[in-house]
A = this chain, B = another copy of it.
């Protein structure tokens, strides 16, 4: 790992890249995960590598959904674990109802266990993963993607699935759960299918979600429900697309 000085204009981007490369070496992320991260980098570059208002709006509603949930679960894949283990643990500390559940696109019991251990090393307890916990199938999905831990997503009313693929996001929506995602591509099937799409970089979005959960801890349930009622995800996606388009212009 090369040391990246804080003063480097692309310090954050380079540090995230190092976390993923480290994740690959630790057997947490997959090679395909590195390529997927690169796709996100290109989109974040076009978005100006900052959190826009459309993401803030979505984060506000995500916090409302999580605080009103009986059983909120965050689905963790290899990239999410490598990039944001600390931020996930902080989220659970802030809101202990949240369970973390490992689900991988490229099936591997060993990688699931490594991710669970990685999260545990960062302070998470009781991380669920289908290689060691009982699971039920999510209809419409095959192979590894269908596995929902009985005490996790199977029992969840609200699921946060960051950096998720479109099929699984769609199947979760079809199952009647409320689905929140974090995705840098407002045009992706995941972004289009979720109930709440936070178009932002994962490690920028999660601390903001944490802050929002903290500041909403005392907000009345009626106000949270009203915030959800007023929210229009399609509108926020259109705003994100407009910013992305504007990002494609000669500098």
Contact = CB atoms under 8 A, between A and B. Distances in A.
A187 B35 contact: no
Interface in A1-49: 17, 20-21, 24, 31-32, 34-43, 45-46
A38 B33 CA distance: 9
Contacts of A46: 248
Interface stretch (A86-94, A194-202, A209-217, A238-246): A238-246
Interface in A29-71: 31-32, 34-43, 45-46
A36 B237 CA distance: 26
Contacts of A176: none
Number of copies of this kind of chain in the complex = 2
Interface in A212-251: 237-238, 241, 244-245, 248-251
Nearest to A20: B35
A170 to B, nearest CB: 15
A22 to B, nearest CB: 9
B250 A241 contact: yes
B35 A17 contact: yes
Contact of A38 (B34, B187, B238, B249): B34
Residue in A17, A20, A248 whose Cβ sees the most chain B Cβ within 10 Å: A248
Contacts of A244: 248
Residue in A32, A34, A35, A46 whose Cβ sees the most chain B Cβ within 10 Å: A35
Contact of A17 (B20, B32, B245): B32
Given A34-B34, A35-B34, A43-B42, A241 B249 contact: yes
Given A17-B32, A38-B34, A249 B245 contact: yes
A39 B46 CA distance: 11
Contact of A34 (B31, B43, B185, B237): B31
Contacts of A40: 38, 42
Residue in A38, A185, A187 whose Cβ sees the most chain B Cβ within 10 Å: A38
25 contacts: A17-B32, A17-B35, A20-B31, A20-B35, A21-B31, A21-B32, A24-B31, A34-B35, A34-B38, A35-B37, A36-B38, A37-B38, A38-B38, A38-B41, A39-B39, A39-B45, A40-B42, A238-B250, A241-B248, A241-B249, A244-B248, A245-B245, A245-B248, A245-B249, A248-B248
Shortest beta-carbon contacts, A-B, top 8: A38-B38, A42-B42, A34-B34, A35-B38, A39-B42, A21-B31, A38-B39, A245-B248
